[in-house]
Amino acid sequence: MKNRSTTLLLDPSLRLYHCSLCYFSAIPTCAEPILRHTNAETIRSSWQADHWEDGPIVMSTWGVSGGILGMDYSFSNTHSSAFILQLSEPAILLDQHGHVQRANPAMEQFLGLSGQAILGLPLLSLIHPYDRLANENALKALWTGRRKQFKHELCLTFGHDRLIQVLLEGTLLSNPDHVSHSTLVVFRDLTDQRSAVIVERLNALMDYHRVTGWAQAHLMRDRIQQVLRRSEYRRCRSALLLLGFGPDQDATAVSSIFRDKRNLINFAERMELVLRKDCSIGHDGQNQWCIIIEDANSTYPLARWLQHLLRTCREAMDNIAHHEEIQPYIGLSIYPDNGRQYEELLAAAAKALRGARQSDQAGFQFAGAEQQVLALARLKRGEELRRALDRQEFTLFYQPVIDLKTRTVRSVEALLRWQHPELGLLLPDTFIRDLEEAEMLEPVSHQILLQACRQIRLWRKTMGDLCLSINVFPQMFVQPEFPEVIDRALEGSGLTADALQLEITETTLIKALQVAPEHFDAMQTRGVKIAIDDYGTGISSLTQLHRAAIRTLKIDGRMIGTLPQSELTATIATAILGTARHCNYDVVAEGVETEEQFTFLQGLNCQQLQGFYLACPMPPEQFSSWDGRPGLFH
């Protein structure tokens, strides 16, 4: 019988007069739940007097549960209202949005609220945030009609931190026309059972705010102290933030706004969307929140996230308060710069929050003056970099690699530059770290790679089989989608894969062999070559070079810069060239800046040279007209 569906029709005296199945032995059991939850005589007289003209009550059973769960009711709106009023246990009727449209007297007494106060409340606002998060999707499926029943133990919260453990049973009530529906929810108070499990759970939930689910102050203190201990062990920086509103005259307005639980829930939900994965949030007094961030080593990402957090807070308050201009502010302290103990950091953050309210700079303020200056400078630099990307201010200079055997340009290395509108041409050392902090290495890499490939394809039409050599940032090479990045650059430019050579350092080689060894196979399959840049300064082995199918070694320019005066460097260079010849590697000597270095390397039979003695890095238009001077063919 549990797997069979039965449709019952009841007349005004609650007597069965039709059953869709012939298992009559099951009928009294199936009808029992409605009688147990109602005063049969009262509801009978109510239906006889007022509601029988709306039609019979239709009930379809899905097995026996001992409660309303298991019954699928089809009532008209008037029947639904009459039915809920007669239930002896606390019950509410929900609309299709999960809002209370009717509550019975038992529910009013249970919550200690009038029926008018309950009307329109979202069911989710009555549920503790931890249980709300776990059951929200299932409950939404119930009141939207995608689910017929729901039954679960959870915790209700209302009043002044009042918690009640209940068994919540919900079932869908369909109108006879099957077009509209409502949801019946019945509550059974379990706190009187005082079982050890329920008592323990309620005590644990007291550590969390009854509306937001965020940690209360005492629990937040413990969490912060744990983060500080981990930061001390890892020798890294962490940040303690205080988020509040201001100025002080707004305190009353904010309290009034958040007195409505729906506003506080809305605010908390928006905040959850922007909280970092490495942070915890908790309450620190009325309408003030504390956030601890574990990784605060980089100033720019932290400052940019603070801007995003403040913007989200403003949007949330605009949405909630509508016309009221209430501004959020953040004060923050950094471990260990502003203190090593919880009390020190909290006091520093509180002082910074007061300073933020008095300042019109950014909406946030660091505890240290130097930290604030640095953060604002980093933000300004980040915005400059983003504008530079949009305006294509990042450009490439090209430096030729000369083949001494053929006395021709064998390839060119593309070197990144920033054509700053105010500061002029900037070298990578002045902005690479800023790009990394601003998380812009990826978009800049994509832009310059495509730019370089297009330029080389254009030159190959007049200069023959010219090859492009370009540096790859370590973070880019180990990303899973890196082969697709190369494919898009080649397809977007029309350059063939055999004309492209990627330069990586020995450090990148070792890391990539550990985390992304498949990238070397992918490049070899495509025909893209890989060279080791700054060779001789790392700890890579010949075995690793073989595993990665490396064919070109570029000797570090700093090593070349000590030739021929340093006997040790001369010995190392001789060993590298001899080993490379035996292993059939191509070798390029970088950083050749004097005639003595050129002559010495020529004597060692180094076939490819690159450096200022041969040619400086040049913009595309200058390289196109370069005639091979100065110095090489004396």
Average pLDDT over residues 94-101: 91
Number of neighbouring beta carbons within 10 Å of residue 588? 26
Measured between alpha carbons, how far is residue 436 from residues 184, 275, 303, 410, 634 in Å?
55, 21, 14, 32, 43
The yes-or-no verdict on residue 548 having pLDDT over 70 is yes
The yes-or-no verdict on residue 479 having pLDDT over 60 is yes
- Split at pLDDT 50, 70, 90, the class of 112 is confident
Among the listed ranges 57-61, 62-66, 364-368, 519-523, which one has the minimum average pLDDT value? 62-66
Strand, helix or coil for residue 371: helix
Strand, helix or coil for residue 283: strand
pLDDT confidence of residue 54: 40
Q: Which residue has the higher pLDDT, 611 or 406?
A: 611
Task: Please give the DSSP secondary-structure letter assigned to residue 11.
Answer: -
Number of neighbouring beta carbons within 10 Å of residue 167? 16
Give me the chain's average pLDDT, please.
81
Q: pLDDT tens digits for 369-404?
A: 888 888 888 888 889 999 999 999 999 999 999 998
The yes-or-no verdict on residue 5 having pLDDT over 70 is no
Q: pLDDT tens digits for 279-307?
A: 899 988 777 899 999 989 888 889 999 99
Number of neighbouring beta carbons within 10 Å of residue 447? 14
Q: How far apart are the first and last CA of the chain?
A: 102
Tell me the backbone φ, ψ of residue 437, rounded to 5 degrees: -65, -35
User: Under CATH, which number does the domain 217-383 receive?
Assistant: 3.30.70.270
Nearest to 98 by CA among 29, 49, 146: 146
Measured between alpha carbons, how far is residue 547 from residues 223, 258, 542, 583, 618 in Å?
46, 62, 9, 13, 35
For residue 20, the Cα-to-chain-centroid distance in whole angstroms is: 53
Task: Please give the DSSP secondary-structure letter assigned to residue 297.
Answer: -
Whether the CB-CB separation of 47 and 38 falls below 8 Å is answered with no
- Split at pLDDT 50, 70, 90, the class of 595 is very high
pLDDT confidence of residue 248: 57
Whether the CB-CB separation of 165 and 155 falls below 8 Å is answered with yes
Distance CA 466, CA 458 (A): 10
Average pLDDT over residues 106-113: 86
3-state secondary structure 41-52: HHHHHHHHHHHH
pLDDT confidence of residue 197: 65
- Split at pLDDT 50, 70, 90, the class of 200 is low
Q: Looking at the chain, how many residues does it have?
A: 634
Q: Which residue has the higher pLDDT, 261 or 311?
A: 311
Whether the CB-CB separation of 386 and 352 falls below 8 Å is answered with no
DSSP 374-402: HHHHHHHHHHHHHHHHHTT-EEEEEEEEE
Nearest to 71 by CA among 38, 49, 48, 46: 38
Q: pLDDT tens digits for 132-161?
A: 888 888 999 999 988 888 888 888 887 655
Average pLDDT over residues 430-452: 92
Distance CA 565, CA 116 (A): 94
- List Cβ neighbours of 158 (8 Å cut-off, separation of 6 or more): 111, 112, 113, 126, 210
Task: Please give the DSSP secondary-structure letter assigned to residue 208.
Answer: B
Q: Which residue has the higher pLDDT, 475 or 630?
A: 475
Nearest to 544 by CA among 554, 532, 555, 556: 532
Q: Which residue has the higher pLDDT, 113 or 18?
A: 113
pLDDT confidence of residue 519: 95
Nearest to 439 by CA among 302, 236, 234, 307: 302
pLDDT confidence of residue 216: 86
The yes-or-no verdict on residue 195 having pLDDT over 60 is yes
Measured between alpha carbons, how far is residue 120 from residues 107, 309, 510 in Å?
14, 31, 62
pLDDT confidence of residue 390: 94
Nearest to 100 by CA among 119, 81, 79: 119
- Split at pLDDT 50, 70, 90, the class of 174 is confident
Among the listed ranges 28-37, 493-502, 523-532, 570-579, which one has the minimum average pLDDT value? 28-37
The yes-or-no verdict on residue 26 having pLDDT over 90 is no
Q: Which residue has the higher pLDDT, 214 or 201?
A: 214
Distance CA 26, CA 23 (A): 6
Task: Please give the DSSP secondary-structure letter assigned to residue 428.
Answer: G
Nearest to 242 by CA among 358, 329, 368: 329
Average pLDDT over residues 50-54: 39
Number of neighbouring beta carbons within 10 Å of residue 43? 22
CATH 3.30.200.20 holds for 6-205: no
Domain boundaries, the chain: 6-205, 217-383, 392-624
Average pLDDT over residues 455-467: 91
Whether the CB-CB separation of 539 and 499 falls below 8 Å is answered with no
Among the listed ranges 26-35, 107-116, 122-131, which one has the minimum average pLDDT value? 26-35
Whether the CB-CB separation of 611 and 590 falls below 8 Å is answered with yes
CA atoms within 13 A on the CB side of 250: 18
Nearest to 59 by CA among 21, 8, 4, 20: 8
pLDDT confidence of residue 419: 95
pLDDT confidence of residue 426: 95
Q: Which residue has the higher pLDDT, 48 or 315?
A: 315
Both tokens assigned to 28: 């009294």
- Split at pLDDT 50, 70, 90, the class of 627 is low
Average pLDDT over residues 578-594: 92
User: Under CATH, which number does the domain 392-624 receive?
Assistant: 3.20.20.450
Tell me the backbone φ, ψ of residue 420, rounded to 5 degrees: -75, 135
Query: Which residues make beta-bridge pairs with 163?
Result: 157
Q: Which residue has the higher pLDDT, 31 or 177?
A: 177
